[in-house]
Amino acid sequence: MQTAHTVSQVREVVRGWHREGLNVGFVPTMGNLHSGHISLVREAMARCDKVVVSIFVNPTQFGPNEDFDRYPRTLDADAAQLVDAGADLLFAPSVEEMYPLGQNQTWVDVDRLGDYLCGASREGHFRGVTTVVSKLFNIVQPDVAVFGEKDFQQLAILRRMCEELLFPVKIVGAPTSREEDGLARSSRNGFLDDSERKLAPSIHAKLQALRTDIEQGERDYEALQQRYTNELNAAGFEVDYLTIANARSLAPAAKSDTDLVIAVAAKLGKTRLIDNVSLAVVDNH
């Protein structure tokens, strides 16, 4: 596996691959890799001749009171995992390489989709995500980019961005990777203490139970949201939101909607966890 730290190095390698007629897959990450990330790399490898993985903790998607400074940076261990997985190129730029003029004045912002769920409480977060992913797409020039479905809103926003800005990149959503007890894998899970780690899987169990309620005919979405929010709070979580949403617009679901996502964000101690489940409502009567 090659490692590059500059934009020019990445462009040179990828240009060579494209000249050979090879297609390129891309997996953007913030590092501190776990098996969920590696599953994204393998998905890209299954679809493409060459795979680039970026590791960059992007400052513009963190709010002023969020965990940018304590976000784990484990580049050597991450690189070893990527070698084992079979990635072809690791791009690990500095902040100065990605933001060469210092404070950014050019932003990519997707309207409306970012108004709900995480976007409602993390002002500027998705603007930071779409801006840095646009930069990365311009650097790497991938044919395919793979993102996890764990962050459903991010995936929806990046798909819209690519569609509207005419990026020639196919966005692939890979299923959420989970621990045996159902907890969605996340770099932030390492912040959980032992008692919090034992409680954390109940967030997914509640989503599954709520989905079952809807599948069995319950349609008072506001009451369901309130009930399950109360249950999670009573169990020890601090719920930011638990929303039954239209899977396309991310707006609160109407009874006539057929494609739904149930999404949650909640703090457990100091750790913010997100998860979601999707469902198709077959009968609205």
pLDDT tens digit string along 4-21?
A: 999 999 999 999 999 999
- Answer yes or no: is 150 a known binding residue: yes
Q: Is the pLDDT of residue 121 over 80?
A: yes
- Answer yes or no: is 204 a known binding residue: no
The fraction of the chain above a pLDDT of 70, given in percent, is 99
Mean pLDDT of 50-71: 91
- Answer yes or no: is 34 a known binding residue: yes
Mean pLDDT of 147-164: 96
Mean pLDDT of 253-273: 96
pLDDT band for position 103 (cuts 50, 70, 90): confident
Spatial separation of the C-alpha atoms in residues 249 and 88, rounded to whole Å: 36
To which residue do tokens 């007890």 refer? Answer: 181
- Convert the pLDDT of each residue in 220-247 to its tens digit: 999 999 999 999 999 999 999 999 999 9
Mean pLDDT of 182-201: 95
Give the residue numbers marked as catalytic. 37
Helix (H) or strand (E) holding 265: strand 259-268
Q: Provide the CATH topology of domain 187-277.
A: Pantoate--beta-alanine Ligase; Chain: A,domain 2 (3.30.1300)
Q: Is the pLDDT of residue 63 over 90?
A: no
The answer to whether the beta carbons of residues 157 and 113 sit under 8 Å apart is yes
DSSP letter at 113? Answer: G
| Domains in the chain: boundaries | 2-174, 187-277
pLDDT, mean over the chain: 95
Mean pLDDT of 104-113: 92
The answer to whether the beta carbons of residues 134 and 161 sit under 8 Å apart is yes
Q: Provide the CATH topology of domain 2-174.
A: Rossmann fold (3.40.50)
Beta-strand relationship, 170-174 and 238-246 = unpaired
Mean pLDDT of 111-132: 92
Mean pLDDT of 103-109: 91
Beta-strand relationship, 259-268 and 238-246 = antiparallel
- Answer yes or no: is 186 a known binding residue: yes
| Range of lowest pLDDT (47-56, 121-130, 141-150) | 121-130
* Closest CA relative to residue 255, chosen from 208, 221, 212: 221
Backbone angles phi, psi at 75, to 5 degrees: -60, -45
